Chain A
Amino acid sequence: MSAAITLKEAVKWPDLLASGHRLCAGCAEPIIARLVLKVRRGATMATTATGCLEVATTIFPYSAWRIPWIHTAFENAAATASGIEAAWRAMRRRGRGPLAKYEILDVIAFAGDGGTYDIGLQALSGALERGHDFTYVLVDNEAYMNTGIQRSGGTPYCAWTTTSPAGTVIPGKREWKKPIDEIVIAHEIPYVATVSPAYPLDVMRKARSAFEVEGPAFLHALAPCCRGWRFPPSKTIEVAKLAVETCFFPLWECRVEDGRPLYKLSPPSLAIAKRPERKKPVEEYLRVQGRFRHLFRPKRREDLIDNIQRWVDRRWGMLLEKAGL
């Protein structure tokens, strides 16, 4: 059971994403993928939408995947995962085919924010509506990183990207981050959770829960990208932690029971809910990242920092209400 996972035990479990991949030094994506794959229950298949994780783990003729893995185009990770699950069920029913012998199969789709908030949204929505038993992992580094840091629906307000350049005309991206979790939860799927690579045990417990539920599960992972967010590679976990400590990216899980979404805060965010004085100002998160530098230099943009703080506070308040706190 998921509650039994401990670091001491998990350190002995094999890594199914091998060393020798070519993601940047300090990248959060392989940290997340390793943690999710560690807790798979048995037979596992994965598919990855085009993006950093896919491209850098499968440079011909090498592959870092130690499980059956299928390349997917940018827009259809959820459709490919649906197909894997449907093929497995058909083989089970007929009692023949290479997947027929597996009583359980953990099917995982990994996709970036571009591949989820934007181009992959309809494939995701369709797969959730059809109710396939699979786990979708959104690896959210808040821009199209693999093609050179273009803004996406997941890029936060005021972030510099190459297509939302901060200057005299605009202060970085003008729109807010799309509330993807609410969109997913509106599909009434059994399990949705946010995860952060800074909290490995929380990631592994939630990934196990995602595998265990019958039907679609969605894990939203924040994946700080030193390259695109402009911070030193050694700070990836520090930045991921600040996102949680400022409530910019709170950690929670949501299960649908009797047709109702039941939100539960996870330990790091629950601690802040109980002791609100521990909630750090969002500025602490912004100022360590070069993509927000223009909020502080050459002139401090109090108006914009305030806008972001109000957005964080409003969404944190909504989350507390939903969690009955």
Chain B
Amino acid sequence: MTEAKPGWRELPFGAVPYKPSLEYHTGDWGVERPDFDLEKCTRCTLCHFYCPEGAIGFDAGYPEVDLRFCKGCGICANECPVEAIRMVRKG
């Protein structure tokens, strides 16, 4: 006699990630953060696209870093075409 096995409808849910990663802050990963010289900045937006964390926003029309997420990689400072970004110590 074979026992009836549960069908897929009866199986319990597996592990479903249910929290947005925005609740997990990665800002303490690095020791440096970008410092913007808004006089020099041409608003080219490149730093927004290059940031691996999506931590550089342009909502205000100029670059602003969200320090809750910036990992201090330094890509933005390395790539800014007019050298408007300098890496400085966090905190």
Contact = CB atoms under 8 A, between A and B. Distances in A.
Nearest to B49: A200
Given A12-B58, A23-B52, A200 B29 contact: no
Contacts of A1: none
A25 B29 contact: yes
B74 A26 contact: yes
A26 B22 contact: no
Interface string B17-35: 1111111111001100000
B20 A20 contact: yes
Given A26-B75, A62-B19, A238-B78, A31 B26 contact: no
A20 B77 contact: no
A3 interface: no
Interface residues of A, number: 40
Interface stretch (A107-115, A213-221, A229-237): A229-237
A8 interface: yes
Contact of A200 (B50, B54, B55): B50
Given A19-B66, A28-B52, A7 B45 contact: yes
Contacts of A318: none
Interface string A1-18: 000000110111001011
Nearest to A56: B21
B50 A237 contact: yes
Interface in B43-73: 44-46, 48-55, 58, 66, 68-69, 71-73
B26 A58 contact: no
A237 B81 CA distance: 13
A58 B55 contact: no
A65 B25 CA distance: 16
Interface string A201-232: 00000000000000000000000000000001
Contacts of A61: 17-19
B54 A17 contact: yes
**Top-3 shortest CB links A-B:** A234-B74, A20-B21, A25-B71
Interface of B: 15, 17-26, 29-30, 44-46, 48-55, 58, 66, 68-69, 71-75, 77-79
Given A25-B71, A61-B19, A66-B20, 9 more contacts: A19-B66, A21-B21, A23-B52, A26-B74, A28-B52, A62-B23, A200-B46, A232-B74, A236-B73
